[in-house]
């Protein structure tokens, strides 16, 4: 059996869960958050925050920001929120280009103490400040940060060398109401911009599916209106769940030799993914008779 990508003529998987800025979809919620965060970075605000429940696209937004920022300033993305303060500083120094690559290869950062790493960063920020330059640190999954690393972030924001907001920090994480811990007061008080990502709305869900199909080159497959309704009902508009359902439905369609995805294929995908059992508690459901 040939892979579904070949059957439909895709150049790559359209609904991969790997965050990719190429597939970034500007929903209403994402648009508001993106514009607010962009304005905050433009104003050189020290700390910014974007929150959203699991699967709404925080990581994709972060990677999109990094891709855009790298064109005009220095940017670093921390994807592992369980880093120690020392590891955070090492990553920051390396990704921002604070020390030469040959020094990194020679292990200059490996044996450095936290105080030495802090001093290196302080000197680097002073150089940026003297050149009227700046840098942005983006921390994904910030709700999982160890308390010691949170304290390190507070120190970074408070550095004398950062008085002119040379280093800006964007935190992305789950809101406290959905399991993420509340921000420590030291961070909360410094936040000037806060944005929130929400699930897709009904019309956005349809455009999102077509958006990803188009980018992946899938001109030979369509999702019926009723199929989209079922996807939306099962996923609640959460992009990660939309991707899971659409990916599995494409596999179902390829097995059947069908180039139009219908509700029964979505239901079959949901059953295989064990999403149907979640329906009564978590998801809005329009059923196969939705119009």
Average pLDDT, the chain: 87
Rg (CA), the chain: 22
Average pLDDT over residues 82-92: 92
Task: Look at the block and give the residue holding tokens 């990194």.
Answer: 104
The span from the CA of 132 to the CA of 3, in Å, is 52
pLDDT value, residue 276: 65
The span from the CA of 215 to the CA of 10, in Å, is 9
Q: Does the predicted TM-score (pTM) go above 0.75?
A: yes
pLDDT-derived band at 285, boundaries 50, 70, 90: very low
pLDDT tens for each residue of 142-192 = 888 888 998 899 888 887 777 788 999 999 998 875 545 566 777 777 888
Strand partners for 138? 77, 170
pLDDT value, residue 284: 36
pLDDT tens for each residue of 194-213 = 999 999 999 999 999 999 99
Tally Cβ neighbours within 10 Å of residue 263: 23
* 177 CB-contact burial (10 Å; exposed 0-12 / middle 13-18 / buried 19+): exposed
SS (H, E, C) the chain: CCCHHHHHCCCCCCCCCCCCHHHCCCCHHHHHHHHHHHHHHHCCCCEEEEEECCCCCHHHHHHHHHHHHCCCCEEEEECCCCCCHHHHHHHHHHHCCCCCHHHHHCCCCCCCCHHHHHHHHHHHHHHHHHCCCCEEEEECCHHHCCHHHHHHHHHHHHCHHHCCCCEEEEEEECCHHHCCCCCCHHHHCCEEEEEEECCCCHHHHHHHHHHHHHHHCCCCCEECHHHHHHHHHHHCCCHHHHHHHHHHHHHHHHHHCCCEECHHHHHHHHHHCCCHHHHHHHCCCCCCCCC
Average pLDDT over residues 207-223: 92
Tally Cβ neighbours within 10 Å of residue 100: 10
Instruction: Pick 77 or 108 by higher pLDDT.
Output: 77
The span from the CA of 4 to the CA of 261, in Å, is 13
pLDDT value, residue 48: 94
pLDDT value, residue 182: 62
Task: Look at the block and give the residue holding tokens 């294929």.
Answer: 265
**CB neighbours of 275 closer than 8 A, spacing ≥ 6?**
234, 241, 244, 245, 283
Instruction: Pick 104 or 37 by higher pLDDT.
Output: 37
pLDDT value, residue 159: 79
* 19 CB-contact burial (10 Å; exposed 0-12 / middle 13-18 / buried 19+): middle
* 5 CB-contact burial (10 Å; exposed 0-12 / middle 13-18 / buried 19+): middle
The span from the CA of 246 to the CA of 208, in Å, is 11
Q: Hey, what are 221's tokens? A: 């497959």
What is the set of domains in the chain, with CATH numbers? 28-197 (3.40.50.300), 200-282 (1.10.8.60)
């Amino acid at each position: 059996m040939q892979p579904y990508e070949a059957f439909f003529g895709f150049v790559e998987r359209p609904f991969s869960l790997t965050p990719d800025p190429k597939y970034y979809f500007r929903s209403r919620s994402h648009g508001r958050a993106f514009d607010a965060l962009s304005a905050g970075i433009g104003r050189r605000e020290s700390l910014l925050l974007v929150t959203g429940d699991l699967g709404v696209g925080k990581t994709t937004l972060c990677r999109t920001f990094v891709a855009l920022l790298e064109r005009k300033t220095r940017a670093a993305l921390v994807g592992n929120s369980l880093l120690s303060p020392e590891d955070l500083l090492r990553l920051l120094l390396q990704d921002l280009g604070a020390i030469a690559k040959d020094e990194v290869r020679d292990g200059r950062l490996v044996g450095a103490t936290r105080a030495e790493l802090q001093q290196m960063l302080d000197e680097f920020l002073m150089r940026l400040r003297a050149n009227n330059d700046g840098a942005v640190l983006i921390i994904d999954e910030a709700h999982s940060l160890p308390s010691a690393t949170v304290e390190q972030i507070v120190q970074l924001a408070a550095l004398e060398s950062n008085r002119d907001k040379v280093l800006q920090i964007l935190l992305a994480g789950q809101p406290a109401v959905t399991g993420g811990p509340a921000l420590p007061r030291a961070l909360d008080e410094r936040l000037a911009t806060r944005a929130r990502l929400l699930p897709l709305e009904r019309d956005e869900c349809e455009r999102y599916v077509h958006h990803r199909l188009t980018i992946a080159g899938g001109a030979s497959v369509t999702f019926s209106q009723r199929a989209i309704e079922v996807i939306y009902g099962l996923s609640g508009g959460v992009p990660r769940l939309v991707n899971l359902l659409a990916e599995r439905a494409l596999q179902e369609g390829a097995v059947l030799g069908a180039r139009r995805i219908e509700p029964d294929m979505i239901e079959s995908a949901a059953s295989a993914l064990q999403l149907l059992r979640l329906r009564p508690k978590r998801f809005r459901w329009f059923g196969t008779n939705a119009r």
